[in-house]
Structure 1
Amino acid sequence: MEKTNRKWWVLITVSLAVLMAMLDITIVNVALPEIQKNFSSDFSNLQWVLNAYTLVYAAMLLPISKLGDIIGRKKVFLLGLAIFVIGSLTSGLASSDLWLNIFRGFQGISGAAMMSLSLTIVTASFPEKQRGLALGIWSSVVGVAISGGPLIGGALVDSFGWRSIFLVNIPFGILAILLGLFFIQESNKNSNEKIDFLGFVLSTALIFTTVLALIQKEMHENYLWTDWHILTLLGLSIILLIAFIITERIVKQPMIELSIFRNWSFNGANIAAFVLGAGLYGGFTYLAILMQNYMGYSAFETGVKMLLISGFTIILGPLAGIISGKIGNRWLISGALFIGAIGILVMRQMIKVPFEWSYLMPGFVLLGISNALVNPPISNAAMSSVDKKQVGMASGILNVFRQVGISFGVVMLGIKLTEGYNNSLDKHIMAIQNIDSGFKHQMLEVFHKSGAFAGSLIFESKQAEVFKQMPAYEHIKNIVFSAFNAGIKDVDLFIAIFLLIGSLASALLIREKSKPGL
């Protein structure tokens, strides 16, 4: 087959793999209620269906990128696909929530292999003139997978049950393996290079403890940041970071060449990836909660509404790669993040109780444009700013920043939402006239225990039955919805700040063509 045609088949192959890897991060959200019902699990166990994948995925990104450089990217990529197929099969057949969590962690290894190596494979397969378009398509797939997860997951769960979200990966995974065997060419292996085992252990432990600390905060909203469960993990992360830096400075063949961070463009791209994950992608979780639990949309209907974001990615994503070649990665990234911040602020200004779709739609349009335009130049800026021998390392680092950003954002935005919700509840419940103070505290206990995410489900619980008999029932319900509105406004402001920081950092740090093209 001609080389011209081969590279496009390579892009199709890795895009299919990336689609599956990223969908497995978001698609599970809508299946959690069915999984909980099937296994009779409590919510803390259920969260590990998400966190087991995320934790292993983030921790393995750097080591697997390095392994691909040493023994060959094609081998490691195809091995990752094989592990993904096996992990999907075992997850779909899991007999308990414990086994499902274990198999999800197994899937995380494969997700890391597919994500970190797909970017380097695409970069190596395309000449510089076409690389922007190729990375634009690759990034569009990432954006579609993240924002389209609820739609695809909702359709599968409603039609075939929760196990289908895993089993559907099997035929597509096998197809990707066959395509990869035929079309992907093996990279040049550096047989003289050895695995930095100490760096491997330290980097894996560093990312693991950092993400686990965030997960602990997410799962236990009553924990302060100074709680020993969190403080111990964060302290250990700092020690591991120092040890990792020292190790990488003294070993002959480090896992990460620290000199890569002297490149301002590379640093700017990573900051942009982090704030994009923390702000926009972390915020998707709470937009889904708003639409499902407060606006009454089903999982599938929520996914359909979020197509307004992902739809722009399909249209503009490939074009963004071309546009970046005209105006430069720097200004496209900065401008796209700024558009996202404006979209969030517009939504924050418009949203009110009772919630209506028309309040979200203008913001969704701007977020869709932002998401479509920002991913391709971030990838392009990172990959074009490093030497050819550093491209695998750069891909791994970029994905770590994006994934840890998502984990960080979900936690921080969840904290802001809960704080705003609780403060508003306390203020307005206690201000209700003609209700005994003791009963007000009883109501607050029910609402605090149910949490900001419960929404309308609060009033369907047995504890809340007594509220329905009260003359002030509708007023109380309005207070709860208004409390969530106060929390979501705090979340929106936080997201806007994240995106504006990323916009400013991109404009200041990113330079065009810091190094010659690969």
Structure 2
Amino acid sequence: MRIATGPVPRITRSTNYKWWVFASVALGLYLTVTDQSGVNIALPRIAQHFGADLPAVQWIALGFTLSTSVMFMPVGRLSDIFGRTQVFMLGFAVFVAAALLGGSAVAFPVLIAAKILQGVGVAGIEANGMAMVADIFPEKERGKAIGLYMSIIGAGAVGGPVIGGTLVSLLGWRSIFAVSAGVGVVALALAAVVLRRGVSVENRQPAGTNFDWTGAGLSAIVLICFLLSITNGHKLGWYSPAIMAGFGIAAAALALFIWWEGKASAPMLDLSFFRSKVFTLGVSARFLSFLGGSAVYFLMPFYLVQGLDFEPSKAGLLMVPGSACIAFWGPFSGRLSDRIGTRWLTVAGMALCSIGMLMFARLDVDSSAWEIVVSIIVEGTGIGLFSSPNTSAIMTAIDSRKFSVASAFLNLVRTSAGLSGIAIFTAIVVFTMASQGFEPDLSGVSESGGNDVRLVFIAGMSRAFVVGAAVMVAAMVVSLMRPENPSVLDEG
């Protein structure tokens, strides 16, 4: 069975076909990353347009993240059953339709619904992008390919706020959705031409494979209850009945999910993945790295704008070197891991991240821009050295026919770790401020209170970064414990 009918384009017969596949996937990835960060920049204007308060506006980002997280695993499993290309392109179609709906929304609930729907489309795109890249490149080049894949994420993180901010300033917030829809159509057309062989049909699961609806439902309950509880714990109180009930339901559903996946004939998540030390320890290190790293990207903007009273434009520029380092070092570490292996690069990356976190912990109200930039460069370099080799090791440890569900699981680890980290580090800062008699809310940093409130906020931020450094050290130890995947060196 063929993916598309009609004559086979010259592109698919090219010796550089893998790079055409990469270009198609990279365009989709860049679009989703820039769209997410661009919409975040537009949130104040959206709130003003609809007259919505901050808790309501936060649901634009939270609803998107929840739907993406919940759909990652089911979409990954469907991709392995029915084909990656089909689900990848369907994800683009949903993304474009949701962008058009959001851009034309006349009621705030419609906009939230559009972002939730867009999250479903992004799950289809991101769950398959890494899988197709890992599959189309030979194993001896997999580190290089994944490194370039990570560089696209870094480039999108740099470009998103710039592109989004420019569009909002010149054309209004609706223009972000319009541009996303337009670029999405171009990306969908490119995928229709390029993704015709070698990345989907040959790696389908055997005919007749069933979809695990029970596992999908249980995983959705786990994620919804856990993510809602951990993102609202510091507001409602960690020991409040609602939060405790949420964590309790999540734990019970997780136990049922593990039991069911162990007995299901066609499980959504193949628990045999975790028999591999390379996979298990690699995933654990990935979770810890995103858990610790979330402190930087969440707390630093508050420190720069509210703590040091920098203009948002200057604060944004100071954050750029971190993303640029990820984009630069990702391909380098990926290529190097193809030659020397993955373990020591991941250890070195987490060591640098630990140092960077301790440098952040030393920042105060008198820190110069150069001190901040150097800290961000050290941390960004560490992430760049770690991410590509770690991901390459994980993907090499599993059967290529299950790349989509594995890729989806890795994306789920990223989003859940990021949200968990934000909740934990916010709680540390809030507790520090409340213990000194200040309003336990990060917005209090920008309100009246003189220099004292800034000093207390920065003290709490320093404690958070010390905890972040400890998390990065834990990730370094886990990476050190991970055995080298022998096939990487054998192929090199």
1:25–1:491 CA distance, 2 compared to 1 (3 A): farther
1:401–1:374 CA distance, 2 compared to 1 (3 A): same
Deviation at 1:417?
A: 1.4
Q: Provide the C-alpha distance between the structure 1 equivalents of 2:483 and 2:99, rounded to a whole number of angstroms.
A: 39
Q: Provide the C-alpha distance between the structure 2 equivalents of 1:3 and 1:287, rounded to a whole number of angstroms.
A: 46
Alignment counterpart, residue 505 of structure 1, candidates 453, 458, 478:
478
Determine what percentage of the aligned residue pairs are the same residue.
27
Output the amino acid matched with 2:122: G
Is residue 389 of structure 1 aligned with residue 405 of structure 2?
no
User: 3-state SS of the aligned residue for 1:27?
Assistant: helix
Alignment counterpart, residue 486 of structure 1, candidates 423, 440, 459:
459
Residue equivalent to 1:280: 293
Contact conserved, 1:283 with 1:409, CA < 8 A, in 2?
Answer: no
How many residue pairs match? The answer is 474
Output the amino acid matched with 2:30: L
Normalising by structure 1, we get a TM-score of 0.87
Output aligned runs, 1:127-138, within 5 Å. 127-138=138-149
User: 3-state SS of the aligned residue for 1:353?
Assistant: coil
Residue equivalent to 1:370: 382
Is residue 268 of structure 1 aligned with residue 281 of structure 2?
yes
Output aligned runs, 1:100-499, within 5 Å. 100-146=111-157, 148-184=159-195, 185=197, 186-188=200-202, 189-190=204-205, 191-217=207-233, 221-349=234-362, 351-423=363-435, 425-426=436-437, 444=438, 448=439, 451-456=441-446, 458-459=447-448, 476-499=449-472
Q: Provide the C-alpha distance between the structure 1 equivalents of 2:284 and 2:404, rounded to a whole number of angstroms.
A: 18
Contact conserved, 2:295 with 2:465, CA < 8 A, in 1?
Answer: no
Q: CA RMSD in A?
A: 1.9
Residue equivalent to 1:431: none
1:165–1:303 CA distance, 2 compared to 1 (3 A): farther
Normalising by structure 2, we get a TM-score of 0.92
Deviation at 1:125?
A: 1.0
1:506–1:514 CA distance, 2 compared to 1 (3 A): farther
Q: Deviations over 1:254-289 (max 9, x none)?
A: 112211111111112211221222121353021112
Deviation at 1:478?
A: 1.2
User: 3-state SS of the aligned residue for 2:217?
Assistant: helix
Deviation at 1:355?
A: 5.0
Output the amino acid matched with 2:221: A
Q: Provide the C-alpha distance between the structure 1 equivalents of 2:483 and 2:424, rounded to a whole number of angstroms.
A: 27
Q: Provide the C-alpha distance between the structure 2 equivalents of 1:486 and 1:122, rounded to a whole number of angstroms.
A: 43
Is residue 53 of structure 1 aligned with residue 64 of structure 2?
yes
Residue equivalent to 2:74: 63
Residue equivalent to 1:96: 107
Deviation at 1:147?
A: 5.2
Q: Provide the C-alpha distance between the structure 2 equivalents of 1:355 and 1:38, rounded to a whole number of angstroms.
A: 37
Q: Provide the C-alpha distance between the structure 1 equivalents of 2:188 and 2:276, rounded to a whole number of angstroms.
A: 35
User: 3-state SS of the aligned residue for 1:390?
Assistant: helix
Residue equivalent to 1:472: none
Contact conserved, 1:148 with 1:307, CA < 8 A, in 2?
Answer: no
Contact conserved, 2:347 with 2:477, CA < 8 A, in 1?
Answer: yes
User: 3-state SS of the aligned residue for 1:28?
Assistant: helix
Output the amino acid matched with 2:222: L
Residue equivalent to 2:3: none
User: 3-state SS of the aligned residue for 2:45?
Assistant: helix
Residue equivalent to 1:81: 92
Residue equivalent to 1:429: none
Stretches of structure 2 lacking an aligned partner (at least 5 in a row): 1-10
Q: Deviations over 1:80-115 (max 9, x none)?
A: 011111111211222232111111100110111111
Q: Deviations over 1:449-487 (max 9, x none)?
A: 7x223433x13xxxxxxxxxxxxxxxx511111111111
Stretches of structure 1 lacking an aligned partner (at least 5 in a row): 427-443, 460-475
Deviation at 1:150?
A: 3.2
Deviation at 1:371?
A: 2.2
1:356–1:96 CA distance, 2 compared to 1 (3 A): farther
Greater Rg by CA: 1
Q: Deviations over 1:479-506 (max 9, x none)?
A: 1111111111012112111211111111
Deviation at 1:152?
A: 3.4
Contact conserved, 1:62 with 1:397, CA < 8 A, in 2?
Answer: yes
Q: Provide the C-alpha distance between the structure 2 equivalents of 1:115 and 1:366, rounded to a whole number of angstroms.
A: 28
Q: Provide the C-alpha distance between the structure 1 equivalents of 2:35 and 2:298, rounded to a whole number of angstroms.
A: 14
User: 3-state SS of the aligned residue for 1:87?
Assistant: helix
Q: Provide the C-alpha distance between the structure 2 equivalents of 1:169 and 1:71, rounded to a whole number of angstroms.
A: 27
